[in-house]
Chain A
Amino acid sequence: MDQVTSQPISPITGRIARTTPWHQRRRTRRIAHAALVYVLVVPGAVLFTIPLLWMLSTALKDPKQIFVFPPQWIPNPVMWSNFPRGWNDFLPFNTFLINSLIITTSNIIGNLISCSLAAFAFARLRARGKNFLFMLVLGTMLLPQEVTVIPQYVLFTRLGWNDSWLPLMVPPWFGWPFFIFLLRQFFMGIPRELDEAARLDGASSWRILWNVILPLSKPALATVVIFGFIGNWNNFLYPLIYIRSMDKQVLAVALNMFRGAYGNANYQYMMAVSLLVLLPVLLVFFFGQRLFVRGIALTGIKG
């Protein structure tokens, strides 16, 4: 409670003035703080939305309006029909949607398991050759895939996996360097005392991972889920090369099938379907980032 130490009388209103000056009061501080945040962040957010609004605008246009100059923002007429037409009339997008969902879900689970295991090992366990192996993990990210795509295709073909989902769905169960690296960084930020306490209780490495590290890593795991979803949802090159039959194809490749020769495309349908394809990603993000709420993160850090 504020202590009243003096009660000056305002010469104007005759009332007793408050003792804490306005710029120190808690509530004003918080409002000012919030206002500062908004001023800094909102303009960027608006800027970031504009390109998407343009996509929406194109998606609702008649093709003859897409390329006029100067560009119009408001389509006239507004062709809502581009959405259902783009989705239904040309290619079986419902099939692609299911395919993408299956592949993506399986890959996320595979990634979570394999990458957590490896990241824990790199973060917490000591062994000879660890640094070399970690460099190897990093190293696999450095070579552009343009030069490994053909040898890898030959390999998978020799395994008999041509025109199947196997080249897309099996490797994620064996780790993915980006996530191994990410989780390792997160795990290394968790205090070792917790591990040691558990070890004293006789826990195995597996127990430590499962009972100590993972519960404290929810934001990191949510990140892996979010990025895993996008990475797989938008993955274009691999499905393009490994899937031959239309009924096995995925959304990311199908989107590009609106493009024809010489850079021409049915832009209105392509934009419409692109926006639709974005929606699941947004859903995943929305639910995933709920784990980013402050306060859940860390317990167990006693003084």
Chain B
Amino acid sequence: MSATTAPTRPRKGFSLRQREEIDFYLFIGLWLIGFILFTGGPILASLAFSFTNWTGLTTQEWVGLENYRQLLFDDKLFWIATRNTFFYSLGSVILGTLGALFVAILLNQKLPGTTLMRVLYYIPSIASGVAVSILWIWLFNPQVGLVNYLLSLVGIPGPPWLASQQWALPALIIKSTWAIGANMIILLAGLQAVPTSLYEAAKIDGAHPWDEFFNVTIPMISPVLFYVLVISTIASFQILTDVLVMTQGGPGTATLVYVYYIYQNAFQYLKMGYASALAWILFAIILALTLLQLWGSKKWVYYEDPGT
């Protein structure tokens, strides 16, 4: 593959490095402009509102750090919501990523029917919203729901799921695995991009399938796997619709997740200022987690071009 023949016009006195930098800012220019115009302002505004007692309507007074003080020291629901969300995130990210990887590898073959099955695994993640949540209420019915029926086939008496304080959150985690189709697609794309020559070379070296998996597949898809982990984590911390439709935070506070608590404060309690403070604490939490993942990625994510 050869590039165009005409050499680039030498720009006046710019070094290669400087040219690259100019190119960089040109290429991200669209995003940067969009950020400044559409995203930055509202984000800063919400930060500003977190220092007020804005109701979401008209009342608005500066209260300084009072919201933050209250949520950290006076609000036991904040801690409950944080704990619930961590637990949910752990469960759904691990199950979701492993599940998606498993299915992606299996469906990466050229076998008859894999296309159909890719579609089947994928459809649930796009059937969205309220209809699906209502459906899952049926599925978790202790007496006639599918979940307990399947459990009974292997002799396990199923718990009351959505009505149980212990099992409501796990029920939501289970539901989240229904949407692994999305991550499966991404991982499939990543698997497709692994050059076959590497596998051939491994076979010539007499590699066992497990060796192939750990020493060829995983490293080659690690950038994409990393993406799936980070995005899943961020998304799992922001779950809302399921709780809104299926459990409303209950029973008790068993499924009170963070963004649901934000939603309640913002639109039901007339405490939009407080909700903004909550949102920014969430921001800090997810940011810390993402940075942690980024830092950890140096250990196991393999990029073809180190040194950027």
Contacts and interface: CB of A to CB of B under 8 A. Distances in A.
A and B touch in the complex (CB under 8 A): yes
Interface string A44-61: 110011111011000000
Interface centre among B121, B134, B189 (most CB of A within 10 A): B189
Interface in B162-203: 178, 181-182, 185-186, 188-190, 192-197
Contact of A114 (B31, B46, B126): B31
A212 interface: yes
B305 to A, nearest CB: 4
A147 interface: yes
A205 B138 contact: no
Q: How large is the interface on B (under 10, 10 to 19, 20 to 34, 35 or more residues)?
A: 35 or more
B84 to A, nearest CB: 15
Interface string B107-137: 1111101010111111110111111101110
B79 interface: no
B38 A155 contact: yes
Given A125-B24, A181-B227, A171 B34 contact: yes
Nearest to B8: A204
Nearest to B123: A52
Given A143-B43, A146-B275, A259-B130, A188 B304 contact: yes
Given A189-B224, A230-B126, A137 B31 contact: yes
A137 B230 CA distance: 13
B259 interface: yes
A118 B5 CA distance: 25
Given A207-B3, A212-B1, A49 B120 contact: yes
Nearest to B44: A151
A292 B192 contact: yes
Interface string B36-72: 0111011101100100000010000000000000000
A125 B21 contact: yes
Contact of A51 (B135, B186, B196, B227): B135
Given A203-B4, A298-B196, A191 B189 contact: no
A198 interface: yes
B91 interface: no
Contact of A175 (B34, B113, B276): B34
A83 interface: no
Contact of A297 (B2, B113, B124, B192): B192
A48 B283 contact: no
A38 B109 CA distance: 11
Interface in B3-50: 3-8, 17, 20-21, 23-25, 27-28, 30-35, 37-39, 41-43, 45-46, 49
A298 B130 CA distance: 41
A224 B4 CA distance: 27
Contacts of A148: 42-43, 45-46
Main secondary structure on chain A at its contact with chain B?
helix
A212 B119 contact: no
Contacts of A99: none
Contacts of B207: none
A280 B122 CA distance: 14
B200 to A, nearest CB: 11
Contacts of B7: 202
B259 to A, nearest CB: 5
Contacts of A303: 197
B117 A41 contact: yes
A208 B3 contact: yes
B195 A301 contact: yes
Contacts of B42: 148, 151-152, 155
A121 interface: yes
A54 B279 contact: no
B226 A185 contact: yes
Interface string A226-248: 11001001101000000000000
B5 A201 contact: yes
A118 B190 CA distance: 20
Given A44-B103, A186-B190, A220-B193, A144 B31 contact: no
Interface of A: 34, 37-38, 40-42, 44-45, 48-52, 54-55, 69-71, 113-115, 117-118, 120-128, 130, 133, 136-144, 146-148, 150-152, 154-155, 170-171, 173-175, 178, 180-182, 185-186, 188-192, 194-195, 198, 201-205, 207-208, 211-212, 215-217, 219-220, 222-223, 226-227, 230, 233-234, 236, 252, 255-256, 259, 265, 267, 270-271, 274, 278, 281-282, 285-286, 289, 292-295, 297-301, 303
The 7 A-B residue pairs with the shortest CB-CB distance, nearest first, are A174-B34, A175-B31, A203-B3, A202-B7, A151-B45, A219-B189, A121-B27
29 contacts: A38-B111, A41-B106, A41-B107, A49-B123, A115-B31, A120-B27, A123-B305, A128-B21, A142-B286, A146-B240, A147-B49, A147-B275, A171-B38, A182-B224, A186-B189, A189-B223, A194-B1, A205-B27, A207-B4, A211-B4, A215-B1, A222-B189, A233-B126, A267-B131, A289-B185, A292-B189, A297-B194, A299-B1, A301-B195
